[in-house]
Structure 1
Amino acid sequence: MAVQPEGAPCWADAMFSDIEGAKSFYGAVLGWTFGDTASEYGNYTQAYADGKAVAAVVPPMPGQEGTSQWCLYLAAEDAAATAARIREHGGELLMNPMPVGDFGTMCLARDPSGVVFGVWEAGRHEGFQAMGVPGAYCWAEVFTRDPDAADAFFPAVFSYRQKEMADEMDFRIYDLGEQSVLGRMRMTEEFPPEVPPYINVYFTVADCDAAVARAAELGGILRFGPESTPFGRLATLSDPQGATFSVIDLTTTEGDVPDTADVD
């Protein structure tokens, strides 16, 4: 695939204390295979769906052990310039822009509402080699308790246009041009207070119910669903190491897509 435009999701990875356990779980649930471990880059290991790079797993760095979490990376034409905008609009840099060999340049940041995300300026590694096919990334949503802060920050940094979903949920969609690239959901009181704001990553599956059943067999926990929606049949899971993600069968839809309205 070509390099994604500025602000578009372009890669996802997660730290796992038990890398072999993560490989076994996601290999069974999402059909991933795994490449060689790159010891010179912290034992970073890429995951593949039908031979295409779709994500990566990596052991935690010393001092970062704890609950695993998926990290979504947003594309940048110039990571240093994006980092400057992040600071300008009230975000926090957790890792300053850092070259990763000739693969590209990364940084990690936190928005003012507490959501952690990555930035990736592509070099030889352009990001996802496939999207929207079984095993591959297809969508993500910012879950935050301070939607006003998120709605001010992300569009300012990445030039998103905002649309509001015309239903009872506090949900917005961030667009780049005519392409919807991210959702933003308010975290309600249903979320325990110890759950931090986060970005929920969706991976495509051929059969949502089968993926949920296989995850449960391997120690995963069902958090939501399965439920058929106008966008596909989906469910949210936590893997055995605590990382939350969603699966969606894009071919099984039900109902009408809600109306949206542009936000000034």
Structure 2
Amino acid sequence: MPVKKEAWPEGTPAWVDLMAPDFAAAKAFYTGVFGWEFSESGEEFGYYAVASVDGEPVAGIGPVQGPDGPPPAWTTYVAVEDAEAAAARVAAAGGTVFAPPMKIGDFGTMAFAVDPTGCLFGLWQSGQHTGVNRYNEQGSLAWNEAMTGDYLAGKEFYATVFGYTYTEIGDERFSYSTVELDGRTVGGIGTAAEVGEGVPPHWRTYFAVDDLDGTIATVVELGGAVVVAPFDTPFGRMAAVSGVAGEVFLLNEVTPQAGAATPG
């Protein structure tokens, strides 16, 4: 069972979280779907809750702060060694840092940015909190990908900021590359337009499940919905679903024969 307690190498998608308009409903939903257990912070940290599987952090959920927040969505945080330096690289490469680096107690330092094509993402400089500890198994992070507004511009931006290299695996029907860091596959990049008409640029989050059909049934039973019906890939069966607030995420049922997509 993959467990990593050390900080993830710079450029690796290292954490995901959701700001929920109905905090209690979101926690109940994901507890039912994935069996997550939550450790909730106090007022100082906005009652942010860390979800765990077998005692190891896998994701975070917090209540929306204020009435004018963005639509609910899972946010991907990329590990950095120095948040200030990474934010400067983002700006120099044409991105926008709309929430500058901010220290979160002893847990670490975060910032929020938008790439030049419109994808929002976070930066995370580890302190006591190093990101996901458990991954690629039931209820934990399996994959992250940037679905950009401009494929070539997106690839150039992330290569400049994080040193990504790419392996093209798309074809004439769609553009898609795996993302590599020092020979490790850490994610993917494609285009939002090929996900669906009118879909804005965004980073997508995949969670691993042992039983895709059973998990989908639970999602629907608990108030979520199926966005894209199950489909087969070389990396296992997948589906896109939404939570109780409409936030979209993907499920990945990885077979023993298929290579699991790893966050690092």
- Asked if these proteins are the same fold (TM beyond 0.5), I'd say yes
Contact 2:193–2:200 (Cα < 8 Å) also in 1 = no
Higher relative contact order by CA 8 Å / sep ≥ 6: 1 or 2? 2
- Give distance in 1, aligned partners of 2:68 and 2:140: 27
The aligned counterpart of 1:7 is 11
The aligned counterpart of 1:211 is 215
The aligned counterpart of 1:121 is 125
How far 1:71 sits from its partner (Å)?
Answer: 0.5
- Give distance in 2, aligned partners of 1:253 and 1:68: 35
Which of 180, 183, 186 is the equivalent residue of 2:191?
Answer: 186
How many residue pairs are counted as aligned between the two chains? 255
> Quick one: structure 1 residues 164 and 55, their matched pair in 2 at CA, closer, same or farther if it must change by over 3 Å?
same
Q: Deviations over 1:3-61 (max 9, x none)?
A: 11010011111100101110111111111111123321111011111211111101112
The aligned counterpart of 1:108 is 112
How far 1:174 sits from its partner (Å)?
Answer: 1.1
- Give distance in 2, aligned partners of 1:63 and 1:148: 36
Which of 10, 14, 25 is the equivalent residue of 2:29?
Answer: 25
**Greater alpha carbon shift after TM alignment, 245-254 vs 94-103:** 245-254
How far 1:78 sits from its partner (Å)?
Answer: 0.4
Contact 2:37–2:52 (Cα < 8 Å) also in 1 = yes
Alignment of 1:39-118 (within 5 A): 39-118=43-122
Partner of 2:240, secondary structure, is strand
Identity among equivalent positions (%) equals 38
Partner of 2:255, secondary structure, is coil
AA aligned to 1:232 is G
Contact 2:192–2:200 (Cα < 8 Å) also in 1 = no
- Give distance in 2, aligned partners of 1:100 and 1:206: 34
Partner of 2:94, secondary structure, is coil
Partner of 2:40, secondary structure, is coil
How far 1:167 sits from its partner (Å)?
Answer: 2.9
The aligned counterpart of 1:154 is 158
Task: Structure 2: give runs of 5+ residues left out of the alignment.
Answer: none
AA aligned to 1:27 is T
**Greater alpha carbon shift after TM alignment, 174-183 vs 35-44:** 35-44
AA aligned to 2:39 is G
The aligned counterpart of 1:261 is none
- Give distance in 1, aligned partners of 2:164 and 2:204: 18
The aligned counterpart of 1:260 is none
Task: Compute the TM-score of the two structures, normalised by the length of structure 2.
Answer: 0.92
Contact 2:192–2:202 (Cα < 8 Å) also in 1 = no
Contact 2:209–2:253 (Cα < 8 Å) also in 1 = yes
AA aligned to 2:179 is Y
How far 1:188 sits from its partner (Å)?
Answer: 2.8
Task: Structure 1: give runs of 5+ residues left out of the alignment.
Answer: 258-264
- Over aligned residues, Cα RMSD in angstroms? 1.8
- Give distance in 2, aligned partners of 1:112 and 1:196: 13
AA aligned to 1:171 is Y
Contact 2:11–2:80 (Cα < 8 Å) also in 1 = yes
Alignment of 1:169-184 (within 5 A): 169-184=174-189
Partner of 1:226, secondary structure, is strand
How far 1:123 sits from its partner (Å)?
Answer: 0.6
- Give distance in 2, aligned partners of 1:74 and 1:205: 23
AA aligned to 1:177 is D
How far 1:190 sits from its partner (Å)?
Answer: 6.1
The aligned counterpart of 1:245 is 249
The aligned counterpart of 1:130 is 134
- Give distance in 1, aligned partners of 2:253 and 2:41: 30
